[in-house]
Amino acid sequence: MNMALWIVQGILGVGFIFSGWMKAFQYEKAKKSWPWANEVSRGLVFFIGIMELVGVIGLIVPQATNIAPGLTPLAAIGLAIVVLLGAIFHIARKEYKQIGVNIVFLVLAVFVAIGRI
């Protein structure tokens, strides 16, 4: 089970680093990749990106170093909330094709949260 959790944490980490980095530090590229980024403030896009990057740190570092490993499930819950809110946002905008990624990442984050409690 521990190996499966680490694999899922790695998948989440790579995904959130990619998306968080683009949102936080490559705004123009984010606007081209995600139409919704053109319709919300740059500050909100930056904030979401930073929260994703901080979430990745919390998802990996505490468990890997065994320093406050209880933070890992909390980070997973935080990331689950981010993608749940993203899914709700896409539903409100009738962007149903975008929701699939949110659901996959939500399920993976919940798996880590439950598995690491």
User: Over 90: is that where the pLDDT of 117 sits?
Assistant: yes
Query: What are the tokens at 88?
Result: 């709700």
- What does the pLDDT read at residue 24? 97
User: What H or E segment, with its residue span, contains residue 19?
Assistant: helix 2-25
- AA identity, residue 60: I
**Residues 58-108: pLDDT tens digits?**
999 999 999 999 999 999 999 999 999 999 999 999 989 889 999 999 999
- What does the pLDDT read at residue 107? 98
Residue by residue, DSSP assigns 33-98 as: H-GGGGSS-HHHHHHHHHHHHHHHHHHHHHHHHTSSTTHHHHHHHHHHHHHHHHHHHHHHTT-GGG
- Residue ranges of domains in the chain: 2-115
- What does the pLDDT read at residue 98? 85
**Rounded to two decimals, what is the model's pTM?**
0.93
**Residues 32-51: pLDDT tens digits?**
999 899 999 999 999 999 99
Query: What are the tokens at 89?
Result: 């946002």
